[in-house]
Amino acid sequence: ILENDEPFYGPASGFAGAYAGEDPEVEELSQDDGTVDRYYVVSHEPGDNRFATKFEIQPSEDTLAIYWVDFFPRTPDPINVYIAEDEDGLPGDIIGEMYTAHPDSGRVVQRFHFPGADQPRIINNIDSGTSFWVVFKYMENTPSWPSLGVDTNPESVDAALNKFYTEADGWLEQSQWQLVVRVATDIPTDPPIIIPPPDPIIPEVFRLGNPYPNPFNGLSLIPIDLPEAANIEFKIYNIDGRLLESTNFGTVTAGLRKLPINASSLPAGLYFVDVKAGVDGGMLKVVQIK
């Protein structure tokens, strides 16, 4: 949030996700049995807490989008989430963008929705299918137990689909546990339709409208059809022709404008407003009541 050039910061909001219209009919992919048996931390060194699990998609001619990822963090610390290409059995280039998830609590499932306009898209192979990785990367300043929930059931564990990362050794296989992760896929959402703002109405000739309300109490508006930008000034006179108030609005852009008369400091009575708009203008009669 900005006020002029001064930023203001607030706490990150909790996870949220909703779809306009009908919810998508997603297919959920997983490699585990759905039970968190323990929480695994790669190490206590900054930069070493990165986890990845691989998903394989059956051959199809459809392009798929990743809608959301479910995971189990041990603590409610921020964590980066992204989808990566499979490069020789390891996480490769990022597909789409890397986002920072802000869990609202620990030891319970957290769902991160990828923004609809920026969903990672998986280009499938109609002959052989394709693979992708879900990668979790904790911040370097994360507390000392930045861990994720894992399944230790031997039937769930596949070292080829399960990796962890250290700065010293890079990506390594993990054969003792499987990340408990759910990935929701479906055909991509349509991009948002951008509705351009209507073109401003530019009048062909200058016209001064009737003030409203009139009579008024303190404040009234004067409609002005302005065919081109002009310096506008209001001068308020009493019935004796004495100047009482003057307001200069500076240069006003062309269009259908409504500018205020502020006569709150004047007593009730009949007044005349002299309107100057460049070379155009006019005189209006107004009545103030109190």
How much is the CA Rg of the chain, to the nearest whole Å? 32
Top-tier CATH class for 207-288: mainly beta
**Token pair listed for 278:** 């460049």
Q: Is residue 150's pLDDT more than 70?
A: yes
Q: What is the pLDDT of residues 232-243, one digit of tens each?
A: 999 999 999 999
Residue spans of the domains in the chain: they are 24-186, 207-288
- 49 vs 137: CA distance, rounded Å: 6
- 165 vs 143: CA distance, rounded Å: 18
Determine the pLDDT at residue 6.
63
**Average pLDDT over every residue of 150-162:** 90
Q: What is the pLDDT of residues 53-111, one digit of tens each?
A: 999 998 887 889 999 999 999 999 999 999 999 999 999 999 999 999 999 999 999 99
Contacts 24+ apart (CB under 8 A), 92-96: 92/133, 95/120, 95/121, 95/122, 95/132, 96/66, 96/120, 96/121
Q: Is residue 25's pLDDT more than 60?
A: yes
Q: What percent of the chain has pLDDT over 90?
A: 65
Phi-psi region of 286 (alpha: psi -120 to 50; beta: other; left: phi over 0): beta
**Do 274 and 234 meet the contact criterion of CB atoms below 8 Å apart?**
yes
Q: Using DSSP, state whether 160 is helix, strand or coil.
A: helix
CA-based nearest residue to 227, from 258, 196, 252:
252
Domain 24-186 has CATH 2.60.120: yes
Phi, psi torsion values for 272, nearest 5 degrees: -120, 135
Q: Per the confidence metrics, is the pTM higher than 0.85?
A: no
Determine the pLDDT at residue 95.
95
Q: Give the Å distances, CA to CA, from 266 to 270, 284, 288.
A: 10, 17, 8
**Token pair listed for 39:** 């929480």
User: Could you tell me which residues are beta bridge partners of residue 8?
Assistant: none
**Average pLDDT over every residue of 175-183:** 94
**Average pLDDT over every residue of 105-120:** 89
**Average pLDDT over every residue of 252-277:** 94
Q: Is residue 13's pLDDT more than 90?
A: no
Ranges 19-23, 178-182, 199-203, 219-223: which has the least confidence: 19-23
Q: Which one has a higher pLDDT value, 83 or 20?
A: 83
Determine the pLDDT at residue 135.
98
